[in-house]
Amino acid sequence: HRGKKMSGSGYDDSVIFLSPEGKIYQIEYAEKAVETSSTIIGAVCKDGIVMGTEKVLPNKLLIPQTDKRIYSISKSAGILVNGVIPDGRNIMYKGRKEYKAYSDQYGAEISGKVLADRLAQYMHFNTCYYGKRPYGTSCVLACYDKVHGYTLHMMDPAGNCSQYYGCANGRGKQSSRSELEKEEFKALTCEEALPKIAKILLTSTEETKDKGRELEFSVLSDETNHEHKFLSAEKCQELYEAALKSIDEEDMEED
């Protein structure tokens, strides 16, 4: 490629090429994989953190709640991914390695900020070298430690990382972010927040409302003794049905 004059689509051959507009197309492609994927949400509540996602079922033969998007990194840390799910799992496994390495070296739990920064650096590394591909995933990281309490971070394919009170990404990110800004989740318990987040997920996009869907949730809270816990398939289905009923009732009132 060094002897080749770059023009047009040639700028997307590798992450080392900047286009005349200052864009790195490989990163934009990875971000597109995130934007067209499942909506993911994280919210800090009065007593902990709730993470949730809405998933389109690829076919009727899939066993419910087996297409996982939420994983545990440690007892007190969980991660939610979207986009290219195997890429997300790779970030999750890296998180587990970082957690163990930090614990072995310092004899203490890694904080949410340090873990998020390390995972973001790992994602950014793939945007710096020829022959590497950016990870086509966005990750929401929920952590608890005794010093900082509950922390919520989100990383994107470029390796950007920020801490949030509430965050969303995926196909319904604009609608979800607007709804998260309207609701004061810091004043709600995780149990109170779950139905509201379920409703936000189901109304986040028009594209999937007529397709088979399911919700997946996890909670990290005082009630779970600061441990990252997954909601059962039955509880997720209960939240899904209650949210649908509430949406239908609102539609009837408007009519």
Q: Which residues pair with 81 in a beta bridge?
A: 139
User: Which has the minimum average pLDDT: 15-19, 35-39, 57-61, 74-78?
Assistant: 15-19
As a whole number, mean pLDDT of residues 115-129 equals: 95
Residue 5 lies in a domain: no
Residue 190 lies in a domain: yes
Residue 114 lies in a domain: yes
Q: Does residue 83 surpass a pLDDT of 50?
A: yes
Q: What is the DSSP string of 184-242?
A: -GGGS-HHHHHHHHHHHHHTS-STTTTS-EEEEEEEEETTTTT-EEEPPHHHHHHHHHH
Residue 194 lies in a domain: yes
Residue 47 lies in a domain: yes
Each residue of 57-96: b (16+ CB within 10 Å) or e?
Answer: eeeeeeeebeeebbbbbbbbbbbbbbbbbebbbbbbebbe
Of residues 129, 182, 186, 195, the one with CA closest to residue 159: 129
User: What CATH number does residue 242 fall under?
Assistant: 3.60.20.10
User: In this predicted structure, what is the pLDDT of residue 130?
Assistant: 86
Residue 126 near residue 134 (C-beta atoms within 8 A): yes
Of residues 47, 86, 8, 83, the one with CA closest to residue 193: 47
Looking at residue 19, the DSSP 8-state letter turns out to be P
Please measure the distance between the N-terminal and C-terminal CA atoms of the chain and give it in whole angstroms: 61
* Cβ-based neighbour number of residue 44 at 10 Å: 23
Record the tokens describing residue 125, joined without a space: 């590394």
User: In this predicted structure, what is the pLDDT of residue 124?
Assistant: 96
Q: Does residue 121 surpass a pLDDT of 60?
A: yes
Residue 233: φ, ψ to 5°: -60, -35
CA–CA distance, 242 with 236 (Å, rounded to integer) = 10
User: In this predicted structure, what is the pLDDT of residue 20?
Assistant: 83
Residue 9 lies in a domain: no
DSSP strand pairing (166-169 vs 40-44): antiparallel
User: In this predicted structure, what is the pLDDT of residue 14?
Assistant: 77
Q: Does residue 7 surpass a pLDDT of 70?
A: no
Residue 7 lies in a domain: no
User: In this predicted structure, what is the pLDDT of residue 1?
Assistant: 41
Matching residue, tokens 């604009």: 174
In a 10 Å sphere around its CB, with 0-12 CB exposed, 13-18 middle and 19+ buried, how is residue 215 labelled? buried
Tell me the one-letter amino acid at 224.
T
Q: What is the DSSP string of 141-187?
A: EEEEETTTEEEEEEE-TT--EEE-SEEEESTTHHHHHHHHHHS-GGG
Give the model confidence (pLDDT) of 185-218 as tens digits.
999 999 999 999 999 999 988 776 767 899 999 9
Number of domains in the chain: 1
User: In this predicted structure, what is the pLDDT of residue 252?
Assistant: 74
Q: Does residue 3 surpass a pLDDT of 50?
A: no
Q: Which residue range(s) make up the domain with 54?
A: 14-249
Residue 8 lies in a domain: no
